[in-house]
């Protein structure tokens, strides 16, 4: 019978691991439709049906991007390929009806959004149910189940019960074929069975790309990570040719995409490994940065990282851990306990964003305040207020940030609302809080008000109608209209001038913060600044004799000129670092240090740039400064390149 052949084919579809084969994984109501339309009719299909053809047709629909195939595959293409394989009749009609008129709704706090038709994507299968206290991780076609307990016998029975339920579900539905050969257990003194076969013990287990060994020392994972990154490093070496290779900025982006992303993945977990074990990744990071900037092989590691403006892997891991901890701490209903002064700053909106009713006027943003006469802007502003909002009361808001702190002011006639925020808060956060407090004030008094703000970036996220937990104004818009007016300048507008002065006074006169909440985004910025200060402190502690420190005292990344070729970029890098093939190749070849053929002095970058008397006339002609820091500074790039080209040593560096 057709339905039996169809059911038998389900396991075949799953075994191919084609994402688009999930078209065959339907819910129980689809199974009932199949039985009604096919099983109880003798002539269910108009023509002979070949299940292999359907399998081949669906295999032809495979996407090259698996992570997007679930949502983005074009259904018409699926149906077209199915027809090309001569699959017609009621089977084709069933598949066609199965895919069309699919809808989606979003539910938030018992409020449903409008219904929308989905144009792309394929329906997916059911969720695997596992009894408590079993916990599970399910990603794609990989499932990990685990359980903790004090009695190993009881724990083993609970795990075995879960495996039996999983196997019975697989046998009854035939939706997923559980692979016994790929199933392993992590605990040695447990005996578990799947499909009457004992599950083998494995000392290491790979979960979402992380290799968990039996001692949790991450030795296997770090060694595997090192070998995989070494293979990717060959791409960097190929693209970094000194004549026709990619520019420095592109190579750094490629390194961060291919290798750095792998090193950062899971770093907050494997950072618990011993320090000596973590150091096996440092050479990969150092080599990737060195290849990207074109530094010579003998260049010191600290100089390479400082010149590129990149952190060490240790500092990068510390930054990732702190940012992750702040993210978890600022998430509502979190179970991750962390000892920190950071409070829970995020409270999700009470009502869905599609119920918001906000009117935003941005007519003045068409003017460039730096190029437009202020009289024109003021005239247009008064015209809009008179013609559209004459019956409304005007409320003006402004924010200010200085070395004393951050604050904002709300001005309405004789009413002044002033607040000071912690120093860590950004000006954007202060403007958001100003808008938040203004709408709270309107809710208490009257809704017949206009809110005037000078920042167009503050109210615009409110119109995106999405759940943005980083926006502090997401909890108050519900079944009430608000008119927010965006201006460009406070000059000539009395309300804006008063708000601007009041916000500036707040930061200087109010000693303590009246609002102590700090968004996670601003805390993350403080974390990055702290990590950068740690890296800067280490750079300051290095001996002043360091070649790069003589010209670069800050770890901040230098800018790269856009019109330089690869050879010029490599030349600049090696001259500024002080290590080049001309001056330091003897360290590799074990030859004597090079000397100047005319002066018989040691040949160094500083000697070539400043001291060689034979090159004094060329220095004077090109106005090369007598100080090494000024001569090799990023502002003097063109002059130093002309000098090195004039003395004909560019290709020797």
Q: Are residues 201 and 70 in the same domain?
A: yes
Local structure of 485: helix, strand or coil? strand
439 pLDDT higher than 70: yes
Tokens of 212: 């968990």
C-alpha angle with apex 27: 25 to 31, nearest 5 degrees? 90
Token pair of 423 as six digits: 């120093």
When mean pLDDT is compared across 105-119, 283-297, 459-473, 482-496, the lowest value belongs to: 459-473
Omega of the bond prior to 133 within 30 degrees of 0, cis?
A: yes
Q: Could you say which of 484, 500, 517 is where a domain stops?
A: 517
Answer yes or no: is 45 within a domain: no
Same domain, yes or no, for 513 and 490? yes
Residue 542: name the closest of 555, 527, 528 by CA: 555
Residue 157 pLDDT level (bands cut at 50, 70, 90): confident
Q: Taking residues 325-346, what's their average pLDDT? A: 56
Residue 462 has pLDDT above 90, yes or no: no
Q: Is residue 346 part of a domain?
A: no
C-alpha dist (Å) from residue 7 to 50, 173, 416, 528, 542: 13, 9, 72, 56, 71
Q: Where among 84, 100, 118 does a domain terminate?
A: 118
Identity of the highest mean pLDDT range in 34-43, 359-368, 514-523 = 514-523
Bridge partner residues of 398 (DSSP): 409
Tell me: do 608 and 628 sit in the same domain.
Answer: yes
Same domain, 610 and 550: no
The tens digit of pLDDT for each residue in 287-331 reads: 999 999 999 999 999 999 999 999 999 999 999 999 988 888 777
Long-range contacts at 535-541 (CB < 8 A, ≥ 24 apart) = 535/311, 535/312, 535/315, 538/302, 539/302, 539/306
62 and 130 both lie in a single domain = yes
**Residue at a domain's end among 560, 593, 624:** 560
- On whether both 113 and 132 belong to a single domain, the answer is no
For residue 206, what are the domain limits?
Answer: 53-74+125-213
Q: Is the pLDDT confidence value at 284 over 80?
A: yes
Half-sphere exposure of 87 (CA within 13 A, CB side): 22
What DSSP state is assigned to residue 138?
A: E
Check whether 370 has a pLDDT greater than 50.
yes
pLDDT of residue 233: 93
User: Range with the lowest mean pLDDT among 83-97, 325-339, 556-570, 623-637?
Assistant: 325-339
Q: Is residue 495 part of a domain?
A: yes
Residue 384 token pair: 């809009």
In the chain, how many domains are there?
6
pLDDT of residue 154 exceeding 60, the answer is yes
Q: For residue 32, what pLDDT is reported? A: 43
57 and 10 in a common domain = no
Q: How many CB atoms lie within 10 A of CB 16?
A: 13
Residue 348 is assigned to a structural domain of this protein: no
Tokens of 381: 């502003």
Task: For residues 434 and 329, state if they share a domain.
Answer: no
Q: How far apart are CA 524 and CA 48, in angstroms?
A: 64
513/500 Cα distance (integer angstroms): 19
What value does the mean pLDDT take over residues 12-18?
39
Average pLDDT, the chain: 76
Q: For 4-13, 102-111, 226-235, 515-524, which range has the lowest pLDDT when averaged over its residues? A: 4-13
SS3 of 558, please? Answer: coil
- Residue 238 within any structural domain of the chain: yes
- Cβ atoms < 10 Å from Cβ of 346: 18
Number of other CB atoms surrounding residue 400 within 10 Å = 23
Both 241 and 331 in a single domain?
yes
Q: How far apart are CA 25 and CA 645, in angstroms?
A: 68
Per the domain annotation, does 601 fall within a domain? yes
Rounded-to-integer distance, Cα 311 and Cα 556, Å: 10
The whole-number pLDDT of residue 129 equals 44
Burial string for 54-77 (b: 16+ CB within 10 Å, else e) reads bbebbebbeeeeeeebbeebebee
250 pLDDT above the threshold of 70: yes
Q: What percent of the chain has pLDDT over 70?
A: 75
The residue-averaged pLDDT of 414-431 equals: 85
> Per-residue b/e over 403-417, b at no fewer than 16 CB within 10 Å?
ebbbbbbbbbeeeeb
Contact yes or no for 334/328 (Cβ under 8 A):
yes
Same structural domain, 440 and 470: yes
Residue 337: count of CB within 10 angstroms of its CB: 7
pLDDT value for 353: 61
For the segment 263-287, the average pLDDT, to the nearest whole number, is: 93
Any domain includes 479:
yes
Among the residue ranges 163-177, 293-307, 611-625, the one predicted with the least confidence is: 163-177
In a domain, 513, yes or no: yes
- Across the range 639-647, mean pLDDT stands at 89
Q: How many CA atoms lie within 13 A of 344 on its CB side?
A: 9
Rounded to the nearest 5°, which phi and psi values hold at 155? -65, -40
310 and 228 housed in the same domain: yes
As a whole number of angstroms, the distance between CA 582 and CA 605 comes to 9
Nearest to 26 by CA among 249, 176, 230: 176
Residues 389 and 290 in one domain: no
pLDDT tens, residue by residue, 192-242? 898 888 888 888 888 888 898 888 889 999 999 999 999 999 999 999 988
**Domain of residue 481, CATH code:** 3.30.420.10
Whether residue 192 contacts residue 185, with contact meaning beta carbons closer than 8 Å, is answered with: yes
């Amino acid at each position: 019978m057709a339905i039996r052949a169809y059911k038998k084919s389900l396991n075949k579809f799953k075994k191919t691991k084609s994402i688009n084969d999930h078209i065959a994984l339907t819910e129980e109501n689809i199974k009932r439709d199949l039985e009604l339309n096919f099983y109880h009719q003798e002539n269910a299909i108009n023509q002979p049906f070949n299940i292999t053809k359907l399998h081949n047709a669906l295999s032809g629909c495979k996407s090259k991007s698996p992570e997007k195939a679930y949502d983005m595959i074009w259904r018409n293409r699926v149906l077209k390929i199915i027809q090309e394989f001569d699959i017609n009749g009621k089977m084709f009609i069933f598949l066609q009806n199965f895919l069309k008129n699919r809808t989606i709704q979003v539910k938030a706090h018992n409020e449903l959004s409008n219904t929308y038709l989905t144009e792309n994507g394929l329906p997916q299968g059911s969720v695997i149910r596992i009894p408590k206290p079993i916990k599970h991780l399910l990603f794609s076609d990989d499932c990990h189940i685990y359980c903790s307990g004090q009695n190993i016998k009881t724990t083993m029975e609970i795990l075995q019960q879960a495996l039996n339920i999983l196997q019975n579900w697989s046998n009854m539905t035939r939706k997923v074929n559980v692979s016994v050969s790929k199933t392993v257990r992590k605990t040695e003194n447990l005996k578990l069975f799947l499909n009457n076969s004992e599950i083998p013990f494995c000392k290491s287990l790979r979960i979402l790309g992380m290799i968990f060994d039996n001692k949790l020392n991450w030795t296997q994972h770090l060694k595997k990570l090192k070998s995989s990154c070494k293979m990717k490093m060959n791409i960097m070496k190929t693209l970094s040719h000194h004549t026709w290779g990619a520019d420095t900025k592109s190579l750094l982006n490629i390194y961060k995409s291919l290798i750095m992303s792998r090193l950062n993945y899971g770093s907050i977990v494997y950072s618990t490994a011993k320090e000596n074990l973590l150091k096996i990744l440092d050479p990969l990071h150092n080599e990737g940065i060195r290849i990207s900037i074109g530094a010579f092989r003998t260049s010191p590691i600290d100089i390479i990282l400082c010149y590129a403006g990149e952190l060490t892997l240790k500092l990068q891991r510390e930054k990732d851990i702190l940012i992750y901890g702040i993210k978890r701490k600022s998430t509502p209903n979190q179970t991750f306990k962390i000892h920190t002064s950071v409070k829970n700053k995020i409270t999700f909106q009470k009502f869905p964003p599609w119920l918001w009713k906000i009117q935003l006027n941005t007519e003045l943003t068409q003017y460039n305040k730096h190029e437009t006469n202020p009289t024109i802007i003021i005239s247009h502003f008064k015209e809009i207020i008179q013609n559209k909002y004459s019956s409304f009361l005007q409320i003006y808001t402004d924010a200010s940030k200085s070395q004393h702190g951050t604050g904002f002011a709300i001005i309405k006639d004789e009413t002044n609302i002033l607040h000071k925020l912690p120093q860590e808060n950004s000006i954007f956060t202060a403007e958001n809080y100003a808008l938040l407090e203004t709408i709270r004030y309107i809710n208490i008094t009257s809704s017949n008000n206009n809110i005037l703000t000078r920042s167009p970036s503050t109210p615009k996220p409110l119109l995106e109608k999405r759940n943005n937990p980083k926006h502090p104004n997401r909890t108050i818009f519900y079944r009430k209209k608000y008119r927010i007016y965006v201006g460009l300048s406070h000059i000539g507008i009395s309300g804006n001038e008063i708000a601007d002065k009041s916000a500036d006074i707040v930061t200087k006169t109010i000693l303590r913060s009246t609002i102590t909440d700090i968004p996670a985004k601003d805390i993350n910025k403080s974390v990055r600044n702290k990590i950068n200060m740690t890296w800067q402190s280490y750079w300051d502690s290095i001996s002043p004799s360091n070649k790069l420190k003589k010209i670069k005292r800050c770890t901040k990344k230098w800018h790269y000129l856009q019109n330089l070729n690869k050879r010029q970029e490599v030349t600049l890098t090696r001259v500024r670092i002080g290590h080049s093939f001309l001056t330091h190749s003897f360290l590799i070849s074990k030859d004597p240090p090079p000397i100047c053929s005319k002066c018989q002095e040691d040949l160094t970058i500083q000697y070539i740039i400043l001291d060689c008397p034979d090159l004094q006339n060329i220095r004077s002609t090109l106005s090369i400064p007598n100080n090494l820091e000024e001569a090799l500074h990023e502002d003097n790039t063109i002059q130093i390149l002309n000098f090195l080209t004039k003395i004909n040593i560019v290709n020797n560096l």
